[in-house]
Each structure stands twice: as C-alpha cells, then as structure tokens.
Structure 1
Amino acid sequence: MTDRLEGFVPVGGVARPHGIRGEFCIKSYADSPSLFGRVPALFMQDGNKPPKPYAVRAWREHKGLVLLTLEGIDDRDRAEALRGQTVLVREQDLPELEEGEHYLYQMMGCRVVLEDGSEVGVLEHFFETAEQDTWVIVNTEGTEILLPAVPEFVLDVDLDSEVITIDPPEGLLDIYLNPEPPKKKKPRKDGKKGGKRKTE
C-alpha cells in the first residue's frame, strides 16, 4: 500500500475480468466482502488519475476473491480496461465498526512496540496473501520487518496513542535485524599441479 488519496480508502485491486458480461475479480482489502454491497458507490483509480465513481450492480465471493459488476461495465473489454486499477470508497461511506475493530488504513503510521515497550518501528504499509495480511514495519535504520497480521501476534491497537503492541513469533525479529553473515567461499581446487615445465 502507498500514500492514499485524501478522503478515499483503498479497499481492493482489480485482478482480471471474469466471463464476458463485464464482471471482474478483485483482491479485497476489506475484512468483510459485504462492504461492497453497503456503500453507495465504488471509485476506480488508474494510477494517479482522478478516481471515477461507479454504482455497484452486484458482488459475490469466488475462490478467495470478490467478483464485482458495476454500472457501465457490461462487457469483457471494459472489464479488461480496469485491470490493475485500485478500488476505492469514500471514507465517509465506510460502515461503522464494532468496538475493538479497526480499518487497516487507520493504523498506517502507528508506532509498533513489543510488550515491554521496546520500539520495533512504524507500520508503513501492508500486502495481502491468500492466508492473511502481512504488515510491513520499518525501523529507524530503514529495515523492513514483515509480520503476519494474525491475532496471536497483534496484542493491542491503540489508535488514540497511535501505538500497536505485538508479540512476534520467536526468532522473527532476529531474521531481519541480525541476519547471518554470508559464509566464506572455500578456495576451489582445480586439480592442476604446480612446478615449472621442463624445456629442452
């Protein structure tokens, strides 16, 4: 994830068309796909161009992805033109969360600490895999630390203090902060004998 457009929140990215009637697959950043049926409009953004609004005609889940059908996107060619674009919603349109829930965009820039208060870094961005979100935490030296964002590793999120407390898997921080030095290569034996060649 990169810097987001003021007033908008990225909720997915277009993967590919699905079928011939304008439906397309997106990789969703939302915890619940029902979000796509609860907002008045989605906005599609191509690179840094201004986002364009679309009304949602239908949505459904399919093999870990979300399939969307938007007004005005009614054939495969138009769906193909959306490939790689970012799916946004207006921040004001986001459904209210239950107590203790947070949107990922709200956590970007928060300090990340261990249970004893030791600084780990700052949550800069995240990326999504089939299994879970992975957070990218950057420390003061600029080293990126990748943390699986699952409940057993994320202990507390305090948005008021902008602090996230984590308990990473044993050895994970050492992998990034204390990598093993490269092993020295052993000298290669080429099998050639030394000595001078006898000349007549």
Structure 2
Amino acid sequence: MKRTGFIEVGGVARPHGIRGEFCIKSYADSPSLFGRVSTVFLQRDGGRPEPLAVESWREHKGMVLLKCKGVNDRDRVDELRGMAVLIREDDLPEPDEGEHYIVDMLGCRVRLDDGTDVGVLETFYENPGQDTWVIVADDGKEILLPAVPEFVLDVDLDEEVIVIDPPEGLLDLYLNPEPPKKKKPRRRTAKKKPRPKKPSAAE
C-alpha cells in the first residue's frame, strides 16, 4: 500500500517540569524514532495536524520526553494534553529485512496457504506483547487474528497479499458460528396428590 499521509506514534500525556517539556506515551517499537524526525504533528479528534519542530527528546520512566519549538511552559503543554502525536509516514525508517510496517500492509488481501481467500486486512489493535489484526471478509464479517509469526506465513507487498495459517477453528468461530442450542421444553407431569393419612388405632 502506498503511504499517503501520517501515522500515529503516541499521545501527549502530561507536562514535565516548567519549561515546556512534555511526556508522550509512545506506540513506537523503539523510542529512538523521535530522535530521527525533525518534526512531529499533533492532532485532536481527527482535526488538522499541527506541526511542531523537535528540539530534543529523551526517555523517562517508560515514556518519551519531548521538547518542541514554541512550547515553553506548562500552560502550553496543558493545551496539548490528550492530543495524538503523528509523524509523516515517509519519515519512518526502513524496516529490517523480512519486517514490514503495518501501515504498508493495510488493504492487502489475506489468504490461506492453499490460496483460499479470507478477506482484507482493514485495521489493527495494539495490545501488550502483540497486535491483533482485523480482517474483513467479503460478507462484512470481522476476523480477529493475533499477529504473531506462527500465524503469518508470508507478506508480499508488491502483490498486496498476506498468507496466514490461523489457529484451528478460528475462522469458523467468526465466519460460521454455531447457532445457540435450543433447550428442550420440560415435559409436564401431573403432580401426585398426597394420600390422606389413615387414623391409627390409638386415635
């Protein structure tokens, strides 16, 4: 898939100090990504991305601390809190051999090893430890696939095809779910009336 715009790499969390430095919750595999770009873009609620020139960055307690030109105090950072942090897709470094960026894979056809068509890789969810792909079948049904190496056999960006080997039963779970079993109605039986107690000889 041709890169056409921006990719979200984090979110503005909170101010750090009083000189305009702010914490970013990073989604990037490596925080060093922020040291490779000269400009980041901040976006709120899908609005127009606002460019900010990067002056410095560093790691701090699992987050990235960023200092940008024109952001010089806590009040300005408070205005940015909660905004998405984007970079240009073309600014992404080249991946290692055999690796691919998910943004380049979106829109690819997904097939099984025998050529059976599954659907299109529509989007993904970021989870701790692994991503989850959302594959949309031609009938609109969604399939959630853990994006781990044992389930992804091949990625061909030139042909825009991804070959997968999903866990047994996963596709049926989403494409052919079993209807809920109907409970059998209970048979009604006539309740036995208690027999009257016979009086004993002593009564």
Shorter chain as denominator, the TM-score bin is 0.7 to 0.9
| TM-score, with length taken from structure 2 | 0.77
| Unaligned segments of structure 1, at least 5 residues | 1-5, 194-200
- What letter is aligned with 1:119? D
The alpha-carbon deviation at position 96 of structure 1 amounts to 2.1
2:44 alignment partner, one of 43, 46, 49? 46
Q: Which has the larger radius of gyration?
A: 2
Rate the CA distance shift 1:23–1:135 in 2: closer, same or farther, 3 A.
same
Task: State the match for 1:181 in structure 2.
Answer: 179
1:168 equivalent to 2:161? Answer no
Alignment length, in residue pairs? 182
- Specify every segment of 5 or more residues in structure 2 that has no aligned partner in the other structure, as ranges: 192-203
2:120 corresponds to which residue? 122
Are 2:14 and 1:10 aligned? Answer: no
CA distance in 1, matches of 2:60, 2:168: 35
Q: 2:66 is matched with which residue?
A: 69
Q: Is the 8 A contact 2:11 2:82 kept in 1?
A: yes
Give the equivalent residue in structure 2 for 1:196.
Answer: none
Deviations 1:11-50 (A, max 9, x none): 323162164444223241x333221111111111112322
Change (3 A) 1:52 1:132: same
Contact between 1:152 and 1:167, CA under 8 Å: does it hold in 2?
A: yes
**Counterpart contact for 1:16–1:80, Cα < 8 Å:** no
| Structure 1 letter corresponding to 2:115 | G
Deviation at 1:76, TM superposition (A): 4.5
Aligned to 2:96: 98
Q: How many Å separate the matches in 2 of 1:16 and 1:171?
A: 40
Distance change in 2, residues 1:9/1:101 (3 Å): farther
Cα RMSD, aligned residues only: 2.6
Name the residue aligned to 2:35: 37
Give the Cα separation in 2 of the matches to 1:26 and 1:76: 17
* Identity %, equivalent residues: 58
TM-score by length of 1: 0.78
The worse-fitting range, judged by mean Cα deviation, of 85-94 and 68-77 is 68-77
